[in-house]
């Protein structure tokens, strides 16, 4: 776009973003309700699959050793809100409400921030297509359902936006909460620390700001270890709970997973689509280097962390919160020929629909 283009053409207005979000919510919840009706199982079951069901168990029964792999902030917040409202709401409903509100708050905050800026930062989309590609990434259902993603999305944006604007203490608060929400909170902490340190000035001051954010993240993680120690007697209970997950034991095993060469693999088109999405994620992260090397690093770390698991089997869900990368890809798509733009849009809609449906029937959708 040319610098002289009208401001409204650069940044989508909030009603556009909120309208697209509302359409996505109606699509997903309507699809789940219709699927439950057609297949003869309760709607509450459709929204309580896989990790959602495990969060429900944590909230209603407490942690057992295998569930210690899940960080405590999200189930703690859902459980507390449920108790405040009388304790009768099903946890998965309370989780959907909380996550949907977090998603709407994120969209509103991003839109307001973009409207104030003279030129959008990489933390906001520059076109409607940026919003579209984010809201219809393959597993965007996780952003408004009984998962950690909605809460983590809002907190991670808070951390990165405050760091971008050099608001040190707000950054510290958001980073500390991210560390208790998802394992990827560590990457948010690294990114936020680098962003606050990029301010021009003496290197000692920049190092001090980096150290404050990094130190806050370490203190938060240390607090989590103390929490585990007091609850279980084992400060590494989260790590030990992941022992039964797929992991590779070598760099070769990590690379071999990219073509489904590990012993547990049963190659199929679902895994192939995850690799395709991973390739788009990689391309978006590399393209983001031109606007922010630090945010590009955030995108790359989020992708690379899956390789020790032996494949990109969680790429859809892990990628749902990578808003700087998804905005970048959508904005790139906006500048492509109409036939290509709408072809990719239809493919994205189809894949999002299939993944959302898969979750409701208990098929792997992450």
Q: Would the CA dihedral through 16, 155, 357, 306 be positive or negative?
A: positive
> Mean pLDDT over residues 339-358, rounded?
98
Q: Would the CA dihedral through 322, 188, 149, 257 be positive or negative?
A: positive
Tokens of 123: 């933390």
Q: Tell me the three state secondary structure of residue 248.
A: coil
On the 0-12 / 13-18 / 19+ scale of CB atoms within 10 A, 167 is: middle
The tens digit of pLDDT for each residue in 52-111 reads: 999 999 999 999 998 999 999 999 999 999 999 999 999 999 999 999 999 999 999 999
Name the band, by pLDDT with cuts 50, 70 and 90, for residue 7. very low
Q: Higher confidence at residue 5 or residue 362?
A: 362
Which residues, other chains included, contact 191 with Cβ-Cβ below 8 Å and sequence gap of 6+?
159, 160, 163, 294, 295, 297, 298
For residue 5, pLDDT beyond 60: no
Token look-up 């090397």 returns 293
The tens digit of pLDDT for each residue in 108-132 reads: 999 999 888 767 799 999 999 999 9
The tens digit of pLDDT for each residue in 122-175 reads: 999 999 999 999 999 999 999 999 999 999 999 999 999 999 999 999 999 999
Contact by Cβ (8 Å): 304, 260: no
Contact by Cβ (8 Å): 141, 27: no
CA distance 178 to 41: 35
CA distance 29 to 33: 6
Token look-up 């439950």 returns 36
CA distance 182 to 342: 34
Share of the chain above pLDDT 70, in %: 97
The tens digit of pLDDT for each residue in 23-59 reads: 999 999 999 999 999 999 999 999 999 999 999 999 9
The tens digit of pLDDT for each residue in 236-268 reads: 999 999 887 878 888 888 888 888 888 888 878
pLDDT at 330: 98
């Amino acid at each position: 776009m040319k610098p002289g283009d009208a401001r409204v053409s650069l940044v989508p207005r909030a009603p556009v973003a909120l309208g697209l979000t509302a359409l996505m919510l109606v699509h997903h919840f309507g699809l789940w309700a219709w699927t439950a009706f057609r297949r003869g199982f309760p709607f509450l079951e459709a929204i309580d699959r896989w990790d959602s069901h495990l969060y429900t168990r944590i909230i209603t029964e407490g942690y057992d050793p295998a569930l210690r792999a899940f960080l405590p902030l999200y189930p703690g917040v859902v459980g507390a809100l449920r108790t405040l409202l009388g304790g009768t709401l099903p946890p998965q409903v309370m989780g959907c409400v909380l996550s949907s509100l977090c998603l709407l708050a994120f969209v509103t905050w991003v839109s307001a921030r973009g409207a104030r800026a003279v030129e959008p930062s990489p933390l906001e989309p520059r076109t409607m297509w940026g919003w579209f590609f984010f809201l219809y990434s393959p597993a965007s259902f996780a952003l408004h359902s009984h998962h950690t993603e909605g809460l983590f999305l809002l907190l991670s944006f808070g951390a990165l936006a405050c760091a971008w604007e050099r608001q040190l203490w707000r950054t510290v608060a958001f980073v500390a909460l991210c560390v208790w929400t998802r394992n990827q909170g560590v990457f948010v902490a690294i990114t936020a620390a680098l962003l606050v340190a990029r301010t021009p000035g003496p290197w000692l001051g920049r190092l001090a700001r980096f150290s404050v954010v990094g130190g806050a993240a370490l203190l938060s993680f240390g607090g989590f270890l103390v929490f585990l120690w007091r609850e279980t007697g084992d400060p590494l209970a989260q790590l030990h709970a992941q022992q039964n997950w797929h992991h590779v034991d070598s760099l070769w095993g990590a690379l071999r997973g990219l073509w489904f060469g590990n012993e547990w693999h049963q190659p199929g088109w679902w895994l192939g689509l995850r690799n395709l999405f991973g390739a788009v994620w990689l391309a978006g992260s590399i393209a983001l280097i031109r606007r922010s090397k630090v945010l590009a690093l955030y995108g790359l770390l989020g992708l690379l962390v899956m390789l020790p698991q032996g494949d990109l089997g969680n790429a859809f869900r892990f990628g749902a919160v990578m808003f700087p990368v998804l905005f970048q890809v959508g904005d790139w798509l906006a500048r492509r020929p109409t036939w290509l733009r709408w072809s990719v849009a239809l493919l994205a809609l189809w894949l999002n629909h299939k993944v959302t449906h898969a979750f409701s029937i208990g098929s792997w959708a992450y």
